[in-house]
Amino acid sequence: MQQTRFDGTERSLAQRLRAHAFQHRKEYTTAASADLTRILFHSLADTKYLEYFFPTAALEELKQQPQKIWRLSDAQGAIEGSEYTESARGKRCGHIFRSEEATYSCRTCQADPTCVLCTKCFHASDHEGHQVYVQMSAGTTGCCDCGDDEAWTRPIQCSIHTKTSMHTDTDTASTSALTLPSELQWSIERTISTVMDFMLDVFSCCPEDMRSPRQEEAIRQDEEKSRLMAEFYGADLPDDTFALLLWNDEKHSVDEVAEQVAKACQKTRRYGRQKAGEVDQIGRSLINKSTDVKALLKQARILAQIKVTVTIRSSRDIFREEMCRVYKGADC
């Protein structure tokens, strides 16, 4: 993959992202998540423009509570459901879908298959006679596209968000008159670009063949190949700790997987149910970590007896994938 050239500030952020796994001992905890959002907001705001994102009182509170995750919605007093109030008229909906929440896809109106509506916006707009599909959200932070003109080939005319003749363009004019400092604009662009490069580099190392556990030599070779490029990120440290991951499928029940996990790891059924529940809800679960690859391979083969999908990967890479995963409630 072709890389963009980083300037000094971009390189500094890239190196902090690279080092994050080792600073937190490759354990993606709440503290690691809080530290990551702090790093990203400081980069976005170039530190001195943090007041553009957070009220002064909120910044003081965040400084006093280093374990707290930085969230715009918390700091700015966002109220759940505010996207459906009268103050939302003329704005994008942006409702974030929860797991198992219905999403509506109108093939007649949408610009591409990713453009969807939430339940309230769908019923507040006219799609009679249109080609409509309903599906359940996987809870991966997709949002409603109502109010985004680029998402639709024709006007949606949502009774909640579409402006009426009673509304003037005063708000739009005053908003357009507010311009961000050029330094802040560049800081935002630089941060997003660097983070996107990091995410692409991390996900490009994900395994393509997940049909069977690999041999120890191949697993260690994968760890070496997945180290980030020193030219952009600085020297990446080797990792001697590996993680056994169990992946979701549509073939096995939670009870069946729980029993096999308990058997493979020689743990209680409670442990097995916990891990099986994670697989069912999130899509994968870290079953065990160890420096002993042979022991992990033995556990992987026991799990594979019921034909579930398992992989053994560097714990450093698993941590970085968790960094890239947009967790519920984050709005950095």
Q: What is the DSSP string of 6-52?
A: P-HHHHHHHHHHHHHHHHTTT---HHHHHHHHHHHHHHHTTTTTGGG
Q: What is the CA radius of gyration of the chain?
A: 23
Backbone phi, then psi, for 137, in 5-degree steps?
-70, 145
Q: How far apart are CA 285 and CA 233, in angstroms?
A: 28
Residue 249 is predicted with a pLDDT of 83
Residue 175 is predicted with a pLDDT of 45
Residue 227 is predicted with a pLDDT of 95
Q: How far apart are CA 44 and CA 224, in angstroms?
A: 31
Long-range contacts of 57-65 (CB under 8 A, 24+ apart): 62/38
Long-range contacts of 78-86 (CB under 8 A, 24+ apart): 83/144, 84/120, 84/160
Under a CB-based contact definition with an 8 Å cutoff, are residues 111 and 150 in contact? yes
The domains found in the chain, sorted by start residue, are 8-77+179-199 (no CATH), 91-162 (2.10.110.30), 207-318 (3.30.1390.10)
Predicted structure pTM score: 0.73
- Tens-level pLDDT at each residue, the chain (332 residues): 334 445 567 889 999 999 999 999 999 998 999 999 999 999 999 888 988 888 887 888 888 887 888 887 777 666 677 888 887 888 889 888 888 899 999 999 999 999 999 999 999 999 999 999 999 887 656 889 999 999 999 998 999 999 876 554 544 444 444 578 899 999 999 999 999 999 999 999 887 777 655 789 999 999 999 999 998 899 999 999 999 999 988 788 889 999 999 999 999 999 999 999 999 888 899 999 999 999 999 999 999 999 999 999 999 999 999 999 854 434 44
Under a CB-based contact definition with an 8 Å cutoff, are residues 70 and 34 in contact? yes
C-alpha 266 chain-centroid distance? 32
